Structure 1
């Protein structure tokens, strides 16, 4: 599918020698891509991304996760670029005021409809959230790591009375064998108002965001504030929610562990999966690090 990473790397080295106009914006998904099977950034991946930044490239996280569940990775990589959360519904410069910031929500009535149909949809829990807060309909499913919070109280219980504002995102968990059918059912019922995406990684999570919101939407917002063009983007992903991002990028790369759908739209595929630092290996060759 086009040039091989080695061929591209050789050409890229040449262009870097004659100017900075070939510097890349590296858009990275987290789960199933940057993170390994234990949901951590390995030393090799961290070093590779740091080397890319030292060479003048930009690294932007584009994830379905909320900020509170991903800021540790942003900090670990010592990034200073804008960040894309909720699959593009939130674009912001963490812990700073930024004129380009954008957070897009959808009508909370959909959350109430989901609560009413929870049993029929075979959902374990429903969680509505925005950048800093979350509500979950069953506190028995609260997990400190998953929600990046030390505890949850009745104030975090999702009800018609507690959810007073429109959410940026809704997370739904079902059993792995049900995720596909639940996703299709949601698209049939609410597809005219929202997007339904699947998280990468080991957890069977569906995420609901406003209609038209994709990671590509977030990248467009980021491009308005950085010195890069669309063709400068190299994007990495593994799941259905990365399709639009890879198609939007100048060079879209699917992980070896990625879905067949994503691989079908990618310019290239990593040789190794996320469990073997596939993204780091690819970047090292592609950028001649």
Structure 2
């Protein structure tokens, strides 16, 4: 990779990428990215999280760019006031059909969200790190009774990960709807999404707005929901700690992981 002072758009996943094991941005990474931002590079946060669980990091980095939330289902303009807000909603009829096919006997929880409302079967504090309920309208109980709107996300948590095949079978009945399972200690959680909604499509919209071509895009991720942003960018990095599935699609793999400032080590090699 050549040393360069050209301006780039840098797309960063959060958990397992930008954030370390303590769910914070290290001081070294924070200061380096703030300097790049002041130098004129566009830094984009790209996450499966809702906006309320991203905004504090966005402000900490002193960013003004749009934010990719819910794995591309929602693009928040941020301080880029002329950027058109984008939102894709998951039809509630599809949600209810999938839940019915899985069966409540196999479900530990269902997590559905808009920017104002959260729908859950029950409270689950273990998910707070990703989906805090601050200032949200929380609806607990059977989804078919409580849900009266389309949502931006659909997560399923089964009682036993052996029941994940029931989720897959329910999803397979619906064209254009796909399923991905979380990794690590979250193997009982799966995300249901439309095949045309992903971080890569959202990143493309942002690049088109700023008139930035893929050969001036650098992206970093650690999981299968990052495949599209990794493939879109000229410099697409899977973190050293990334899932093997992502590494298969990556042009590059970072020398260091998310606990070792892996992002900025590679940005320095590029010459930023």
Counterparts of 1:69-108 in structure 2 under 5 Å? 69-94=53-78, 97-108=81-92
- The alpha carbon displacement at 1:85 in A equals 0.7
8 Å contact kept, 1:104–1:168:
yes
TM-score, length-scaled by structure 2: 0.87
Report the CA distance shift for 1:79/1:269 in structure 2 as closer, same or farther (over 3 A). Answer: same
- The alpha carbon displacement at 1:157 in A equals 4.3
Partner of 1:12: 3
Counterparts of 1:147-158 in structure 2 under 5 Å? 147-150=131-134, 155-157=139-141
- The alpha carbon displacement at 1:121 in A equals 8.5
Q: Distance in 1 between matches of 2:208 and 2:104?
A: 43
Segments ≥4 residues shifted beyond 3 Å? 95-99, 117-123, 140-146, 150-158, 174-187, 197-205
Report the CA distance shift for 1:266/1:180 in structure 2 as closer, same or farther (over 3 A). Answer: farther
Report the CA distance shift for 1:83/1:133 in structure 2 as closer, same or farther (over 3 A). Answer: same
Between stretches 124-133 and 87-96, larger displacement belongs to: 87-96
- The alpha carbon displacement at 1:178 in A equals 4.8
Partner of 1:224: 208
Q: Distance in 1 between matches of 2:19 and 2:105?
A: 30
- The alpha carbon displacement at 1:56 in A equals 1.9
Counterparts of 1:22-171 in structure 2 under 5 Å? 22-94=6-78, 97-119=81-103, 122-139=106-123, 144-150=128-134, 155-157=139-141, 159-171=143-155
Larger fraction in helix: 1
Can you give the 5+ residue segments of structure 2 that lack an aligned partner in the other structure? Answer: none
Q: How many residues align?
A: 271
Report the CA distance shift for 1:206/1:70 in structure 2 as closer, same or farther (over 3 A). Answer: farther
Partner of 2:269: 285
Q: Distance in 2 between matches of 1:189 and 1:61?
A: 33
TM-score, length-scaled by structure 1: 0.82
8 Å contact kept, 1:88–1:217:
yes
Q: Distance in 2 between matches of 1:179 and 1:242?
A: 25
Partner of 1:197: 180
Partner of 1:242: 226
1:274 partnered with 2:265: no
Q: Distance in 2 between matches of 1:175 and 1:125?
A: 8
- Deviation per residue, 1:42-61 (Å, 9 max, x gap): 11221121122122211001
8 Å contact kept, 1:64–1:207:
no
User: What SS does the corresponding residue of 1:109 show, helix, strand or coil?
Assistant: helix
> Which structure carries more relative contact order (alpha carbon 8 Å, separation 6+)?
1
Larger fraction in strand: 2
